[in-house]
Chain A
């Protein structure tokens, strides 16, 4: 059992990691074909990962409902929402005269599934994202204080960029547009590159550790 849970996954990781790292340096069509085959497998696995996510969700909330834990009514609502949406996706549309099959519109006619998507999901997600605009303002009012020289410099740069990114700002402060471009293209790009280098080195180091079996957190469980 230990072999199946530990040694075998580590072996597969090692072989696959070395082979596909080497694949990058092999231009021969055979290597490309191998990559295509494996990407097909990855696509299939990605599809199953979706199923896994939904199954986990179902299981956890089923336990909550069964045990009548606090907030179990919301779990019932969640079930109703998931099952209702799935049913709507598989239902028959009498107006369109065909099965919906997960389509939002059929020949321009909005299906029940499409209604759930465009009149519930889209506004709800949009609302959550829109809250950010208000939160940014309140966070800025609370925290953007020139407590030190560096904070003051940051504040000035932030004001110039905020002015430069909108037409009214460019009208009030004409130079803000060009200065904003310079800040974004020079200062910002330089700093982002530095952060990117650091993160990339971290990712390469982690990948090497995973390939050579030094990093096993992804297998789950604590220390052996």
Chain B
């Protein structure tokens, strides 16, 4: 077996080790590379920036712990921005396995910004049904969530004063790891109840949501950890996403180098087989 053939059939664990090192080292020794902000992330940021104080912002954290590394930084950045703008924040989730995580994210962000539960924000929790839940919220928010996650009656909360349905919400952002998520909020929510909708998602499903962005069905899209890092840059509060970008940069470059290497070895084998008259692989 030639060197090129041996390299093409290298043990996967060596590749895993390379990726592991490329992820770990930048986290231990951050570099802090500059992050360029994309128009799609700016779309979400600028809309929140344009909302007057006291506007209602609903953040639906539609992800479970598996997607926490990508979507939690997005949630934290959005909540920090919303609290800084003194918006009335409503948190909720369409994924039952993400309820605890979502509650933690909202509580921690609120505590950091000195906001009071019931007065400045509320976490509604989770309720069964996706489309049916959104439709019920569009008809009567209090029927969908008679009490919040802490069992406080929602009708008595100061933060929800004057809000009857989704039509009274100024901006909804869904942070989605898959189905149910942004598309559900558009089909069952924005299409019927006409609120403005933005989105955040994991990097792998982001390309599939560009048609919604191009057609104006969502006014912005925060894609993956990169999107979260861009948002953190926009609000001037760098967090885990920016910290993670160094690791992501190193990993991407490592994968590119591996792909280039594998193609070099492949071409070498093809060339040598061609010269020796053997069939090419």
A and B touch in the complex (CB under 8 A): yes
Binding site for B on A (CB under 8 A): 32, 35-36, 38-40, 42-44, 46-47, 50, 103-105, 114, 117-118, 121-123, 125-126, 128-130, 133-134, 136-138, 140-142, 144-146, 155, 158-159, 162-163, 165-172, 177, 181, 184-185, 188-189, 192-193, 196
Chain B nearest CB from A163 CB (Å) reads 7
Distance of A224 Cα from B253 Cα, bound (Å): 57
Chain B nearest CB from A145 CB (Å) reads 5
Indicate if B136 sits at the interface (CB-CB under 8 A). Answer: yes
The residue among B34, B211, B258 with the most chain A CB atoms within 10 A of its own CB is B211
Q: A137-B15, A177-B36 are in contact. Are A163 and B252 (CB under 8 A)?
A: yes
Convert B239-269 into 0s and 1s, putting 1 for each residue whose CB lies closer than 8 angstroms to a CB of A: 0000001101111111110111111001100
Chain B nearest CB from A124 CB (Å) reads 8
Question: For B274, what are the chain A residues with a Cβ–Cβ distance below 8 Å?
Answer: none
Question: For B214, what are the chain A residues with a Cβ–Cβ distance below 8 Å?
Answer: 185, 189
Chain B nearest CB from A37 CB (Å) reads 10
Indicate if B127 sits at the interface (CB-CB under 8 A). Answer: yes
List 11 additional contacts besides A125-B65, A165-B252; criterion CB under 8 Å.
A40-B143, A43-B132, A105-B104, A105-B107, A121-B65, A122-B68, A137-B255, A144-B262, A159-B260, A165-B224, A168-B33
Chain A nearest CB from B121 CB (Å) reads 16
Quick check: B253 and A40 within 8 Å, CB to CB?
no
Of B19, B129, B140, the residue contacting A46 (CB under 8 A) is B129
Distance of A44 Cα from B16 Cα, bound (Å): 46
Q: A46-B129, A138-B12, A193-B211 are in contact. Are A133 and B251 (CB under 8 A)?
A: yes
